Amino acid sequence: MQVPLQIDFHDVAQSEALETRVREKAARLQAFHPRMMNCRVAIEAQHRHKHQGKHYVVRVDVRVPGREIVANRDHHEDVYVALREAFDAVRRQLEEHAQVQRGEVKARAAPPPAPGEGE
């Protein structure tokens, strides 16, 4: 199933290379959670002080059954680095969510009783 993908550009020139990279990364996410319902990516340039140049904010929203996963990575001078970091954060959250759904995450053990308790 092809995941519905929405890409929004704010104060960033829309480029085919950037859009292709977003599509590739969204397709890879589906391998971590095949039941993804949709993916929305917003790329925004924030104008900073004239000596610092542009900084980019990338927000990735992914919906899976029972959860919405959101990652923001901002203030990076390279839009591709900000994009990579945002998708890496979403991938980690998707893996964690899938493990919980499969029951692979162990419950934490109760702390041992304090001395003098339980005697």
pLDDT per residue as tens digits for the range 66-81: 888 888 876 678 889 8
For residues 18 and 64, what is the distance between their CA atoms, to the nearest angstrom? Answer: 24
Q: Which helix (H) or strand (E) holds 70?
A: strand 67-76
Residue bearing tokens 């319902």: 37
Range(s) of the domain holding residue 70: 5-102
Beta pairing class for 38-47 and 5-10: parallel
Q: Record the pTM.
A: 0.77
Picking from 93, 96, 85, 27, the residue whose alpha carbon sits closest to that of residue 59 is: 85
Asked if residue 113 is part of any domain, the answer here is: no
> Mapping DSSP to helix (H, G, I), strand (E, B) and coil, where does residue 113 land?
coil
Residue 61 maps to which CATH number?
A: 3.30.160.100
Asked if residue 108 is part of any domain, the answer here is: no
Asked if residue 58 is part of any domain, the answer here is: yes
For residues 81 and 74, what is the distance between their CA atoms, to the nearest angstrom? Answer: 10
Asked if residue 28 is part of any domain, the answer here is: yes
Q: Which helix (H) or strand (E) holds 88?
A: helix 79-102
Asked if residue 112 is part of any domain, the answer here is: no
Count of domains for the chain: 1
Give the pLDDT confidence of 2-60 residue by residue, as tens digits: 668 999 999 888 889 999 999 999 888 887 777 888 999 999 988 765 556 678 889 99
